[in-house]
């Protein structure tokens, strides 16, 4: 079957199943969204936000890019953060990285990847901040995995330093920022225990 046709059929079957299980689900959801979470994750097809925490549509506001990077000049990401905090009033922002991230791996390679190298520079910066610790890890996979963790930690810090988050905390809005990492091999998320809840 034509691949696009298959997707349309999948969609119809899915909508029918949800409506059967929860009559009025879509009509109710079409009126408003009140998610409590903003998810900032990697664009990797294996790390789909709703699925790995088993939440239906309407529960998570999502921003994904290559290697879950939060850049202070990225209007796309900043707009998502602003909307999530000021309009949706999410209570939690979760930065979720993953081990074995291709973006993180590519950032450490010497070869030319084209345009994307400009984006991956941000990961190289994270590497530079922690090069002593990372260079001491002999196993390349373990080194990459540690950089994946350090990248999440760095991006949590970047989220906390956005003007929107600072303002939210100043006006005592309930908001926590969390750093998580997902393992492709077992489908499990690990909390990096770096939650920040205001300052
Ligand atoms: Co990735």
Q: Does residue 128 have an active-site annotation?
A: no
Kindly give the distance from the C-alpha atom of residue 40 to the centroid of ligand 1, in angstroms, as a whole number: 12
Kindly give the distance from the C-alpha atom of residue 67 to the centroid of ligand 1, in angstroms, as a whole number: 5
pLDDT band at 99 (very low <50, low <70, confident <90, very high): very high
Q: Does residue 44 have an active-site annotation?
A: yes
pLDDT band at 163 (very low <50, low <70, confident <90, very high): very high
Contacts of 26 (CB under 8 A, 6+ apart): 15, 18, 19
**Catalytic one among 46, 72, 113, 121?**
46
At 78, list the tokens: 């900043």
Cα dihedral 64, 115, 72, 66 in deg (nearest 10): 20
* Overall average pLDDT of the 105-120 stretch: 94
Give the per-residue pLDDT at 30: 93
Mean pLDDT of the chain: 96
pLDDT one-digit tens code per residue, 121-132: 999 999 999 999
**Residue showing tokens 């906390």:** 160
Give the per-residue pLDDT at 1: 73
Contacts of 51 (CB under 8 A, 6+ apart): none
> Which sign, positive or negative, has the C-alpha torsion 122, 128, 134, 140?
positive
Kindly give the distance from the C-alpha atom of residue 148 to the centroid of ligand 1, in angstroms, as a whole number: 9
* Overall average pLDDT of the 138-156 stretch: 97
Q: Does residue 160 have an active-site annotation?
A: no
Q: Does position 110 have pLDDT exceeding 60, yes or no?
A: yes
Kindly give the distance from the C-alpha atom of residue 42 to the centroid of ligand 1, in angstroms, as a whole number: 5
The gap from C-alpha 156 to its chain's centroid, in whole angstroms, comes to 10
Give the per-residue pLDDT at 23: 97
Kindly give the distance from the C-alpha atom of residue 104 to the centroid of ligand 1, in angstroms, as a whole number: 7
pLDDT band at 199 (very low <50, low <70, confident <90, very high): low
Give the per-residue pLDDT at 198: 80
Q: Does residue 98 have an active-site annotation?
A: yes
Q: Does residue 77 have an active-site annotation?
A: no
Give the per-residue pLDDT at 143: 96
Tell me whether strands 37-42 and 92-98 are parallel, antiparallel or unpaired. Answer: parallel
* Overall average pLDDT of the 110-127 stretch: 95
Contact (Cβ atoms closer than 8 angstroms) between residue 39 and residue 94: yes
CA–CA gap between residue 181 and residue 144 (Å, rounded): 13
Kindly give the distance from the C-alpha atom of residue 93 to the centroid of ligand 1, in angstroms, as a whole number: 18
């Amino acid at each position: 079957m034509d691949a696009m046709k298959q997707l349309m059929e999948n969609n119809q079957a899915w909508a029918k199943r949800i409506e059967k299980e929860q009559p009025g689900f879509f009509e109710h959801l079409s009126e408003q969204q009140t998610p409590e979470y903003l998810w900032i994750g990697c664009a990797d097809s294996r790390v789909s936000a709703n699925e790995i925490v088993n939440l239906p549509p309407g529960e998570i506001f999502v921003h994904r890019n290559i290697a879950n990077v939060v850049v202070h000049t990225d209007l796309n990401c900043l707009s998502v953060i602003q909307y999530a905090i000021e309009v949706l009033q999410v209570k939690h922002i979760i930065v979720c990285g993953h081990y074995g991230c291709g973006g993180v791996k590519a950032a450490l390679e010497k070869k030319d990847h084209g345009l994307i190298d400009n984006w991956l520079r941000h990961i190289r910066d994270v590497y530079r901040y922690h090069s002593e610790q990372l260079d001491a890890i002999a196993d390349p996979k373990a080194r990459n995995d540690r950089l994946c963790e350090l990248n999440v930690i760095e991006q949590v810090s970047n989220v906390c330093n956005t003007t929107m988050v600072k303002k939210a905390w100043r006006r005592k809005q309930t908001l926590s920022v969390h750093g998580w990492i997902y393992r492709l091999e077992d489908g499990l998320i690990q909390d990096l225990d770096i939650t920040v809840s205001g300052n």
